[in-house]
Structure 1
């Protein structure tokens, strides 16, 4: 993925779930074409927050997308804040539902590889992944990598759960 045609939106969000919703709403409202990547990025500075970025498939889209986002009141900057964004919008993301084999995940989406926590090497192409309809790969060294973990019945599940329990929820 080239980041030549990239924009970042800083809405001052504090959690990934809100950033996911913003990213999906913006992508839908902008009617972005196939080939667009939308990622979340954790910013750890004096004002910790989650920002969202779009990498567009064409430079011709940069101006119109920037203008529209700015007109909607968003703080927009060029580029991406880092190279390790967590992908929410990416080619094939909508096709990753239900239970799929690792080979199907790779064939249907922009995901380059799947890794399993605690396992050496990559899973077999025939390994079954229960997507929970929530597949959030992350950029690692220029590859879009989905981290999975073992689950019941010899299946795998994405490491990130769709509805995480907030820290200290029972306190």
Structure 2
């Protein structure tokens, strides 16, 4: 992604949400309310400090869309700041995200979406284009520099799955 695009047409909203799943739901609801067009990126960002929480960022394809989003978010009571809170957003809304349901190949994922690269935990290099990936409808890449990168891990039957699962088991859930 062109860094000028990110800097010029980005804003972020502070929230009181502290869990990623709740932040995803809020982000998707706001994306629907704002009627975000194709070409929009919407991310979650973990804010640390005295009040840990999840911020939401939006990178839009034009200045008028940015101003409209800023006005609507401010009207809803969000504190809105230009730019991004950090450089490593976890991307929830991005071009092609809706086409990544079920089982796709790595090549299809890269062709259908804005994701630039797939990495597999414990290996070097990118997996082959024909490698299958079972998405479970939950594909959350992250920005690494100017690239949108999906971390995946090996799964049963030689497939891959995204590293982040839709419904993680909380630590010590069985205690």
Q: Which TM-score tier does this pair reach, normalised by the shorter chain?
A: over 0.9
| Uncovered stretches (5+) of structure 1, i.e. residues with no partner | none
The question of 1:64 aligning with 2:72 is answered no
**CA distance in structure 2 between the aligned counterparts of 1:32 and 1:68, rounded to whole angstroms:** 12
1:1-171 matches, within 5 Å, as 1=1, 2-3=5-6, 4-171=8-175
SS at structure 2 position matched to 1:100: strand
TM-score, normalised by the number of residues in structure 1:
0.97
4+ runs deviating over 6 angstroms? none
Displacement of 1:62: 1.6
TM-score of the aligned structures, taking structure 2 as reference length: 0.95
1:159, distance to aligned residue in structure 2 (A): 0.2
* Equivalent residue pairs, number: 171
Gaps of 5+ in 2: none
CA distance in 1, matches of 2:171, 2:18: 14
Question: CA offset at residue 21 of structure 1?
Answer: 0.5
Deviation, 1:56, is 0.5
Task: Give the aligned CA root-mean-square deviation in angstroms.
Answer: 0.9
Determine the C-alpha separation between the residues in 1 that align with 2:35 and 2:132: 32
User: 1: distance between equivalents of 2:96 and 2:142?
Assistant: 15
